[in-house]
Structure 1
Amino acid sequence: MTSTHAQRKALGDYGERLAAAHLVEKGLVVLDRNWRCSAGEIDIVAADGNTVVVCEVKTRSSCRFGTPM
């Protein structure tokens, strides 16, 4: 794994941790992270009461293209 690839993965992991913490703070229950199947991967699967919430997380390294939320 190249340094750039490792840095991108670390940034993505950081963003997923922040997103999961935000969901928990808002009262959701994180059911799984990085759930994989033959069709691909889902970053976060959470529950909001009886509703299943599926999240794709995109992490930016700057605010050049806008701020989060």
Structure 2
Amino acid sequence: MLGCVPALAFPGGSYAASCHRIHMEGPYLTALCGDGYGGARWSRIFASRCGGTGVSNQHGHLVCGGYYR
């Protein structure tokens, strides 16, 4: 019998508004994030490190803390 492996949910936070190609690489959330100056950079963060506080994009860097603007 074939079974499905449950997908890991992405952490919450505002990063999805300015990052794309978002995916998990093992325990790491990885994404291509806008730097606010017209460029973009790859960033990754150990997803469980944020402890439910959410993830935000700060100038192309994924950081814990949710909803940075």
User: TM-score normalised to the size of structure 2?
Assistant: 0.36
TM-score by length of 1: 0.36
Which structure has the greater CA radius of gyration?
Answer: 1
Structure number with higher strand proportion = 2
Between 1 and 2, higher relative CO (CA 8 Å, sep ≥ 6) is seen in 2
Higher helix share: 1
